[in-house]
Amino acid sequence: MYKKLSVFLVSLGLLGGCSVANGIVTDTTQKITTTLSASRSSSEKTLTPEEEQQLKEEKEHQAMLDELPEVSTTDWNLDLVNNWTPIDQDITIPLTTLPNGYMIDERMKDAYDDWMSAASEAGSEIVLVSSFRSVDLQQTNYDSSIQRYIDQGHSAEEAKKMTEDYIAIPGGSEHHTGLAIDIVDADWLSTGKGLIPEYDTQESQHWLVDTMADYGFVLRFPQGKEDETGIEYESWHFRYVGVDNARYMEKYQLTLEEYIHLLEEAGK
C-alpha cells in the first residue's frame, strides 16, 4: 500500500512537472504556462487607431520612396526656382526662339512641339502667352504690378502682397529657367479674359491637364498647394520636368517643391 502510494506521488510529480523537496512542491508547468501567456499577450498587443494610422502612413511613404524614378535633384529639368530659391544667374540656359518670338529651353522644344501638335489635332489652338523671362523683365513686371495696385487705392504693403500672390519676386520666377510656359487657347484669349484661374472652365485646359504628363509637363501652381509653392492657383502655367518625373508627380499629386524634398530624403 505504502509502496504503491510512493510510486503514485513520484508519477504525479513527473507528469505535472512538479518537484518535491523538503515538503515544498514547485509547479514548473504553471510557471511556464504563465510566461507563455504573458509573452503571447505582449505580442498580440492591439494598436490604437492613431498607431494604426501612423503605421499606414509610414508604409505609404516608404512605398513612395521605393517608386521614385532614377533621377537627381541636380538634373537640368528639375531646377527649382521660387520665392525662397532664386535662380543661379551664373548658369547659362540653352535657349531657342520659337516662331512666335518667345524663347524656351531648347532641351524641351521637341516635347513642347509634340504637345502643341497633339492639341491642334484634338481641336484646340493653344497660344503661348509667356515663356522665358529675364530677371530684369521680371523686375519690370513686379514693379508695374505694385504701382497698378497703388493707383487703385491700395497701400504699398497691400500692393506688394497682392502682386506676390501671382507674380514671383524678381530672381524667383520659374520663367527664368526657360522651362515654364503660360498657355491658353485662342478662343479664350479672344475674350480678353487672359490669364485668370477661370481658364480651367474650358475644355482645352482640361485636355492640357489630362495629357501634360505624357509630354513631361506639370501644372506648376495647382489649387490647394499655395502654401507649398508660395503662388496662388494658376490654371495656365505649366512647367517641363520630363516624362518620368511628371508621371510620378501626377500620380502622387506633388508640387515640384514636394517632389524635390522627397528626392532629397531619398538621397537623390
pLDDT digit string (tens) for 30-39? 554 455 444 4
- pLDDT above 90 covers a percentage of the chain that reads 65
pLDDT at 44: 56
pLDDT at 160: 87
pLDDT at 105: 98
45 or 133, greater pLDDT:
133
pLDDT at 156: 87
pLDDT bucket at 192, cuts 50 / 70 / 90:
very high
Q: What are the boundaries of each domain within the chain?
A: 2-45, 57-133+173-265
Q: Which helix (H) or strand (E) holds 185?
A: strand 180-185
* Cβ atoms within 10 Å, residue 207: 17
125 or 10, greater pLDDT:
125
pLDDT tens digit sequence for 139-191: 888 898 999 999 999 998 898 888 888 787 888 899 999 999 999 999 999 99
Is 3.30.1380.10 the CATH classification of the domain at 57-133+173-265? yes
Comparing CA positions, the residue from 167, 145, 146 lying closest to residue 156 is: 146
Distance between CA 202 and CA 26 in Å, rounded? Answer: 84
Distance between CA 173 and CA 23 in Å, rounded? Answer: 90
pLDDT tens digit sequence for 113-128: 999 999 999 999 999 9
- CA 193 to chain CA centroid, Å, is 30
pLDDT tens digit sequence for 22-79: 444 445 445 544 554 444 444 457 989 888 899 899 999 999 999 999 999 999 999 9
pLDDT at 139: 85
Comparing CA positions, the residue from 266, 246, 265, 263 lying closest to residue 73 is: 263
Comparing CA positions, the residue from 178, 179, 202, 172 lying closest to residue 189 is: 202
State the chain's mean pLDDT as an integer. 86
> With 50 as the cut, is the pLDDT of residue 5 above it?
no
Number of H helices, E strands in the chain: 11, 8
> With 60 as the cut, is the pLDDT of residue 4 above it?
no
Distance between CA 77 and CA 129 in Å, rounded? Answer: 21
CB neighbour list of residue 221: distance below 8 Å, 6 or more residues apart = 229, 231, 232, 233, 234, 237, 255
